[in-house]
Copies of this chain bind each other. A is one copy, B any other.
Amino acid sequence: MARNNAKDIFLNYIKEKGLRYTKQREAILEAFLASGKHITIDDLYNTVKKTNQEIGYATVHRNLKLMTECGLADEIKIGSHKTRFEQKYGHEHHDHLICMKCGKFIEVHDDKIERLQEKLAEANDFAPQRHKLEIYGLCKKCR
């Protein structure tokens, strides 16, 4: 299943790079794969801390970066807030509607928009690699 594949990707990446698999690294990986959407470093730090008292903040930070490098995680930077991470492996690409009042993230996807973006880039002799589409406004409850 996806959980195990994700773990394999991480383990392979670790091995390829000549890195080592530590207890902390495992705890952080597990916690991340079990996490919900759009978590901050603090979120993950606090979660891991419960079962791993002596974990350091920097270690969580470093390993989230590592998971991002190997494609398991995606960084999301919203406004001036702190960086959030979300699971990427086994999750389709999507964009976000962000409520300016309650902070809710709605995940959306529109193939037409995606294709038009490709065209738009092409028309400008630009080779797109990734994009960020964030629509800010008010959600159903807040408007």
Cα-based distance from A121 to B113 in the complex (angstroms): 12
Interface flags, A96-136, vs B, CB<8A=1, else 0: 01011000001010101100110011001111111111111
Contacts of A116 in B (CB 8 A): 110, 112-113, 116
Interface size, chain A (Cβ < 8 Å) = 33
Q: Is A3 an interface residue (CB 8 A)?
A: no
Contacts of A4 in B (CB 8 A): none
A residues near B (Cβ < 8 Å) are: 77, 79-80, 97, 99-100, 106, 108, 110, 112-113, 116-117, 120-121, 124-140, 143
12 residue pairs A–B, Cβ–Cβ below 8 Å: A97-B120, A97-B124, A97-B128, A113-B116, A113-B120, A116-B116, A126-B135, A126-B137, A126-B138, A131-B134, A131-B136, A133-B133
